Amino acid sequence: MIKYLALMSFLLLAIDVQAQQMPSPGGVELGSVVPKKLLSKPTPSGKAYTLTLPKPNSFVANSIVRLNGKGQAIKIVIIGKNHSNDSYGSFCKSEYEDTKQALTEKYGSPTGSFDRLAPGSVWEEPRDFVMSLYKNEYVKADYWTNDLGFAIELRMEGISTDDCYNAIEYEHSLLFNEEIARQEIKEKEGF
């Protein structure tokens, strides 16, 4: 009996450690220095880059990384494939649920979620689902956080009246907040 309890305790600790690992979407770990060969096309702000993932999956259409001054990945945004001519959002919803399930298996149950249509919205019919996303009157998102300082958000985005996609945003909250504070200090000091 004691051996059984010891084994169960060990397994529970191993599961907890696995859930506490830093995410590495597509093979790029949050907080790690990103090799320059994976970066291209800086954004207009110059604070983020298009990222070539070493291990992309079928979900990925595009990816963007924000680096701190040390070249560490502090935020990675994975943009899913565009679902065109889908005003009901059927394909987007299905992909969202599959992705949510995969993230839940890897990181545990979501810490929180948003699934809300704005009060008084005229886009409440099922055929208006993507339009409600596009007009920012409907929010569908789930997020995960942990003690290591990372946050993950899965969300739906509308880009026209019947085109939508899903996105996953990974953020190393501690490094991201540190970088924002460093930039604010630079701006105040006139650098």
* Residue 75, both tokens: 């935020």
Closest CA to 32 of 152, 158, 150: 150
Q: Scanning the structure block, which residue is given the tokens 């005003």?
A: 87
Residue pLDDT tens, the chain, 191 long: 333 333 333 333 333 333 455 678 888 988 889 999 999 988 887 779 999 998 888 888 999 998 888 888 889 999 999 999 989 999 999 999 999 999 999 889 999 999 999 998 888 888 999 999 999 999 999 999 887 788 999 999 999 999 999 999 998 877 777 777 777 777 777 65
* Cα radius of gyration rounded to whole Å, the chain: 19
Give, in degrees to the nearest 5, the angle at Cα 125 between 122 and 126: 140
d(CA 115, CA 97) in angstroms, rounded, equals: 13
Q: Does the reported pTM lie above 0.85? A: no
Concatenate the DSSP letters of all residues of 126-181 into one string.
Answer: GGGHHHHHHTT-EEEEEEEE-TTSEEEEEEEEE-SSS-EEEEEEEEEHHHHHHHHH
Phi, psi at 149, each rounded to 5°? 95, 20
